Amino acid sequence: MRSAVIVNPVKVPDRDVLHRTIVDALTAAGWPEPMWLETTVGDPGSGQARQAVRDGAELVFACGGDGTVMSCVTVLAGTDIALAVLPAGISNLLAASLGLTGDVAAGIEVVLQGGRRRIDVGCVGEQSFAVMAGMGFDVQMLVATNDDTASKPVGWLAWFAGAVRHLRDRPMRIRLILDDRLSFNRRPCAVIVGNAGRLRGGMRLLDDAPPEDGLLDVTVLSPRTLGHWLSPGWAVLRRKEVVPCMETFTASRVEIRSNRVQPRQLDGDPIESGKQLLVTVRPQALLLCVPCPTTDPGVATAGGDPSAIQHRVHRVDKRM
């Protein structure tokens, strides 16, 4: 199988070791030597992924952070070219959802075992994402946890610390429109539109987010005080069915309109701030290399009616 490695050199401490590890493993499996394409400051991976497609790659290794993986997802969505994630540096959101670590050898073994799955991708303009998009202060939380502590078992503590730093931020005033049929107003701190639900540090936010059902899961977070944050944080950590200060919905088209400019992110990578976030879904558009057999709940097979809107209100604190 012809393959290409798209690597962010900034994220890799020793490119020679990485190159040798990948080439040796693929050669031992009878694969030809892969193409080697490095990202640049001006291009985090889109141009390299397009070159890999032009040059006949059947599989692309994305070795970098969230930006590199998202760039590859955008280019490969809608093709039959498989994407393999080799997280470099801090584990990115897609790697976390797959249960992958920064062990390159383990990541290559996942590829060689042959596990493949088609998953949905979310779209915001011309960009695509595999895990989640967000609007509001979740962007600051993700940035705040983008360090070594976030990839450790206690990474949720860093995530919570990031939340505490922004407790005094004004909530947004938004209108949330689902599939052009359901529309309502809210005053949340953040809205997250997800395709899979595991954050850094193993924390799950969207447990009911099967990534191949043609639907997007929407989480509206509305805590106002430290006590409000403690309650949903503890409930999410313990995977409780009832989560205070949080509402969830599902739809295939999600539009968020804010009264003022808000920070936004795709797969943990900040994008240009704006007053609107329009998210659509491309069902089963991405061929992804996954552990075989797949037992992780975050990538479990599940069905769903893409035309249906489901509303699951966990609980809204009436004091807010």
Question: For 81-102, what is each residue's pLDDT tens digit?
Answer: 999 999 875 557 788 777 777 7
Question: For 38-94, what is each residue's pLDDT tens digit?
Answer: 999 999 999 999 999 999 999 999 999 889 999 999 999 999 999 999 987 555 778
The pLDDT of residue 140 is 65
Distance CA 117, CA 212 (A): 9
Domain with CATH 3.40.50.10330 in the chain: 3-120
Domain with CATH 2.60.200.40 in the chain: 127-282+297-315
236, 223 contact by CB (below 8 A): no
Distance CA 224, CA 57 (A): 49
Mean of all residue pLDDT scores within the chain: 80
- Across 142-189, the runs of DSSP E, i.e. the strands, are 174-178, 182-186
pLDDT at 314 over 60: no
Q: Select from 1.25.40.10, 3.40.50.10330, 3.30.1330.100, 3.40.190.10 the CATH code of 3-120.
A: 3.40.50.10330
Going by pLDDT thresholds of 50, 70 and 90, the confidence category of residue 319 is very low
How buried is 288 (Cβ within 10 angstroms: 0-12 exposed, 13-18 middle, 19+ buried)? buried
The pLDDT of residue 102 is 73
The pLDDT of residue 222 is 82
- SS3 call for 209: coil
Q: Give residue for tokens 């994407």.
A: 83
pLDDT at 148 over 50: no
Q: Once rounded to an integer, what is the mean pLDDT over residues 193-200?
A: 69
The pLDDT of residue 206 is 58
Q: Which long-range contacts (CB under 8 A, 24 or more apart) does 232-238 make?
A: 233/156, 233/160, 233/163, 236/203, 236/204, 236/205, 237/156, 237/203
Distance CA 189, CA 36 (A): 42
- Residue 319 token pair: 């004091």
| Fold of the domain built from segment(s) 127-282+297-315 | Tumour Suppressor Smad4 (2.60.200)
Question: For 9-27, what is each residue's pLDDT tens digit?
Answer: 998 888 999 999 999 999 9
